[in-house]
Amino acid sequence: MEPSITTIRSPRRSIEWLRPLALLLFALPLFALSPRALAAKHELLQLFVTEPYLELHTGPGRGYPVTQVVARGDSIDVLFRRTEWFKVRTERGIEGWASERDMIRTTLADGSPFTFNRGDREGFRSHHWEGGVMTGDYAGATLVEGFLARSLTDTLKVELHAGQFLGNLSNGYVADLGLNHVFMPRWRFSPFVTLGTGIERTEGKGTLVQPVTQNYQTAYEGIGARYYLARRFYLRVEYRHHTVFTKSDSNEVKREWKLGFAFFY
């Protein structure tokens, strides 16, 4: 008698869509670092007060009361920054918030002025974080999404996008992770190219039969441009070409365009 042989087929296609999700989860720590955690990893910046005094508020805003002042010649340590306010610590260990308008008058230990991104054209060129909301068209469906980006250099960024699309036959969700390369970051109008991977979850709108939910892995490449408006805000327009890796022999192609507002800090 010949031995019986049983073949077990691995359901590879059913889990392929999980690969980009695992990549997204792996990259989340890049976006999860808080200002406090970043400050703890680096030596604190020491500054010296050159004006008669430096006011410290209890919170990051003019509406918070002033409870401490730092005299001329005394030093402060910068803990972290939140928009237009700096959290600092005095020589006596007292913490408070100082406005960027006052901090720009402080100096470093060598006497040189303290400089930082103030949300102007120079800040548009070189900054750490971006975020925004966009709307447009995803393969004929209405798309609304948000994004967060971390700058690696002035020209290279890591971006995470997540959104929802609403169509006539189906609705769904998309999430993408990729790289963005900006050309001429010093220009008010600066083009860019982008490349990455993602996942798509589609939910059918069938009424006669049970709607089918499907998950797909995707890859994309795209071009776009950003236009500096004022302070920390800019306009962003983008076109993407998506390849959807379906379970059939041929992949599906989807085109996306979107326009939105973003900010940097």
Answer yes or no: is pLDDT of 253 > 90.
Answer: yes
Q: What is the pLDDT of residues 168-200, one digit of tens each?
A: 888 999 999 999 999 999 899 999 999 999 999
Domain ranges of the chain: 35-116, 124-264
Domains 35-116 and 124-264 fall in the same CATH topology? no
Contacts of 192 (CB under 8 A, 6+ apart): 180, 181, 182, 183, 223, 224, 225, 226
35-116: CATH class: mainly beta
Instruction: Tell which wins on pLDDT, 89 or 100.
Output: 89
Percent of the chain with pLDDT over 70: 80
Confidence of residue 246 (pLDDT cuts 50, 70, 90): confident
How much is the average pLDDT of 237-255?
92
Determine the Cα–Cα distance for residues 72 and 51; give it in Å rounded to an integer: 6
- Give the pLDDT score at 42: 59
How much is the average pLDDT of 220-225?
97
User: What are 191's strand-pairing partners?
Assistant: 225
Q: Determine the Cα angle at 176 with ends 213 and 251, to 5°.
A: 55
Tokens of residue 72, six digits: 């001329």
User: What are 228's strand-pairing partners?
Assistant: 234
Contacts 24+ apart (CB under 8 A), 15-18: 16/217, 16/245, 17/199, 17/215, 17/216, 17/217
Give the pTM.
0.62
Percent of the chain with pLDDT over 90: 62
Contacts of 18 (CB under 8 A, 6+ apart): none
- Give the pLDDT score at 83: 75
**For domain 124-264, is the CATH number 3.30.70.1530?**
no
